Amino acid sequence: MKIVIQRVSEASVVINTKEVAAIQNGLLVLLGIENEDTQEDIDWLCNKIINLRVFPDENAVMNKSLKAVDGDVIVVSQFTLHASTKKGNRPSYIKAAKPDVAIPLYQAFVKTLQNGLEKTVQTGAFGADMKVYLVNDGPVTLIIDSKHRV
């Protein structure tokens, strides 16, 4: 499981001209799922997201977590995070999980994150053609892969 986290001052997701998610201060999380991913990957990543100290404290030092600032989250499925670009010019997505595997893991990820934050996590729509708008605050962007924990 791979995520890209962006600290945002605002973010939204639009599908067919309808806004389906919108937040102010918080994180936009792009989530890529592989066939080998499990609840263990979900638990580890959600714990990271909740506790990463990427928000500024009173001295403008990144020292506060999402939970500490009561920030909001949007999670967007992003199979292209698992693109292989080793050969040729057309990315291969063979490592990305198919919907029958990915959808339950995506739903479990959102539920685990909601439970840890004790608040609603907004989402895009799995497999939809989405427009994602954001103001990256900082900018702060992190890439985390659950398979590279050490």
Mean pLDDT, the chain, as a whole number? 95
Top pLDDT among 46 and 90 is at 46
Count Cα atoms within 13 angstroms, Cβ side, for 116: 23
**Residue 150 domain flag:** no
Looking at the domain assignment, is residue 54 inside a domain?
A: yes
Element (H, E) at 138: strand 131-145
Is 80 exceeded by the pLDDT of residue 47? yes
Query: Does a structural domain hold residue 136?
Result: yes
- pLDDT confidence bin for 1, thresholds 50/70/90: very high
Say if residues 94 and 43 touch (Cβ distance below 8 Å). no
| Confidence check: pLDDT of 65 > 90 | yes
* DSSP summary character for residue 79: G
37 domain-assigned? yes
> What is residue 63's DSSP assignment?
E
| Catalytic entry in 6, 78, 112, 122 | 78
Question: Is the predicted pLDDT of residue 48 greater than 80, yes or no?
Answer: yes
- Structure tokens, 44: 């580890």
The CATH number for 18's domain is 3.50.80.10
Q: Give me the number of domains the chain comprises.
A: 1
* 126 carries an active-site annotation: no
* CA terminus-to-terminus distance, the chain: 15
Q: How many helices (H) and strands (E) does the chain have?
A: 2, 8
**Tokens 């919108």 sit at which residue?**
22
From 6, 55, 79, 109, the catalytic residue: 79
Instruction: Give the tokens for residue 61.
Output: 């030092």
Q: What is the pLDDT of residue 9?
A: 97
Name the band, by pLDDT with cuts 50, 70 and 90, for residue 83. confident
Q: Point out the catalytic residue in the list 24, 80, 107, 120.
A: 80
123: three-class secondary structure by DSSP: strand
* pLDDT range class, residue 149, cuts 50, 70, 90: confident
**Which of the four pLDDT bands, split at 50, 70 and 90, describes residue 94?**
confident
Query: pLDDT-based confidence at 68, cuts 50/70/90?
Result: very high
Whether 85 is catalytic is no
Domain coverage including residue 64: 2-145
**82 pLDDT more than 80:** yes
107 is an active site residue: no
Give residue 39's pLDDT: 97
Q: How far apart are CA 126 and CA 13, in angstroms?
A: 12
- pLDDT level of residue 137 (50, 70, 90 thresholds): very high
